[in-house]
Amino acid sequence: MRYKHGRLRAFTLIELLVVISIIALLIAILLPSLARAKELANRAVCAANVRGIVQSMFIYAQSNQSQFPSVLPPASTTYQNGPGAAATDSAGNIGTILESMYGSNAWQEGSPMACMWLMVLSGQITPKSFICPSDLLATAPSDEYSTSSTYYSNFGVVRGTVSNTGQGESYSISFPWNYMNDAFIVGSWWNTNAASAELPMVSDMAPAADTSAAGNAKRDPTQPMANTYGNFIFNSGNHNGDGQNVGFGDAHVAWCVTPYVGENRDNIFTYASSGGVGGGGTALTPTGTAPSSVLPTIAPFDTVMTPVRDVATGAW
């Protein structure tokens, strides 16, 4: 804008276009940086959540014979992979609730999510702590109780219904049980005595195998570390396939760009593999088929994260 012969002269069209082009270029340059900064902040919040869950597990174990949270093990080779429903407790008594979690609610047997929910019912952690800000499927924490004298014995969703898209919970824990003598028992790794700086206990939601999905929503957890797809193929979906936060037995949390961080560098999203970075093993599915082979009873343990969720569809 210039003055000419004492009169105010407006911008020319070319000048306006140049200014708009410069602004558009600056926005194009800055947006990826802003998105990156937001994701790094989300990872920090997620890491704090994972650390809080691990610490709550230790607090729980102090009052439960050094055992981390565990409901009854699976009665068969099928475990409860997805979220559960509300159960009636007319008395509204927290003691009754916890007692039913351990014994009378047989339909919650073998539910890793119910194991985590025990800490919520015990008042040690809030449902909000189970939400990763980078999780596009679990976008809101679960309610602890509904308005009609019911409580959640697992991760329900807000508004009192059960979701098959994962809303309400963003994390997985090491499968707590081992199949021995034709039955499941609590695994020898699931107590404070076995916990170590190398033992993975909690992670971002484990991915279910889905090789038919498009783009970086495709998942095959059995792929080796060196593969033709890239790291997204075996990573959690919470952080766009870039990696996952993993909490270990000494309560430290690490950002891991691959799932090959178990003891003996084993893949934490598979089991019954030979160890190392060569891939293979068995990945869990949303149908809830539990690891039915005998897992190692002494270190190094072959832990596998549950529950699993389909990155593309959100199905449990």
Residue 239 falls within a domain, yes or no? yes
Residue 216 falls within a domain, yes or no? yes
What is the rounded distance in angstroms from the CA atom of residue 48 to the CA atom of residue 63? Answer: 23
Q: Is the pLDDT of residue 219 over 90?
A: yes
Closest CA to 154 of 131, 186, 124, 120: 120
Residue 156 falls within a domain, yes or no? yes
How many structural domains compose the chain?
A: 1
Residue 20 falls within a domain, yes or no? no
pLDDT of residue 4: 55
pLDDT of residue 159: 59
Q: Is the pLDDT of residue 231 over 70?
A: yes
Please state, for a pLDDT cut of 90, what percent of the chain lies above it. 54
pLDDT of residue 150: 63
Cis? peptide before 300, omega within 30° of 0? yes
Average pLDDT over residues 109-138: 92
pLDDT of residue 7: 62
Residue type, 5: H
What is the rounded distance in angstroms from the CA atom of residue 92 to the CA atom of residue 95? Answer: 9
Q: Is the pLDDT of residue 291 over 80?
A: yes
Averaged pLDDT score across all residues of the chain: 86
pLDDT of residue 260: 97
Average pLDDT over residues 99-106: 54
157 or 26, which is more confident: 26
Residue 18 falls within a domain, yes or no? no
Average pLDDT over residues 102-125: 80
What is the rounded distance in angstroms from the CA atom of residue 56 to the CA atom of residue 179? Answer: 26
What is the rounded distance in angstroms from the CA atom of residue 251 to the CA atom of residue 58? Answer: 9
17 or 130, which is more confident: 130
- pLDDT tens for each residue of 47-91: 999 999 999 999 999 999 999 999 889 988 889 898 876 665 554
- pLDDT tens for each residue of 261-272: 999 899 999 998
What is the rounded distance in angstroms from the CA atom of residue 75 to the CA atom of residue 77? Answer: 7
Residue 201 falls within a domain, yes or no? yes
pLDDT of residue 190: 97
Average pLDDT over residues 1-9: 58
Residue 299 falls within a domain, yes or no? yes
Range of the domain at 71: 39-309
pLDDT of residue 23: 83
Residue 33 falls within a domain, yes or no? no
Q: Is the pLDDT of residue 11 over 80?
A: no
Quick one: pLDDT band at residue 19, thresholds 50, 70, 90? confident
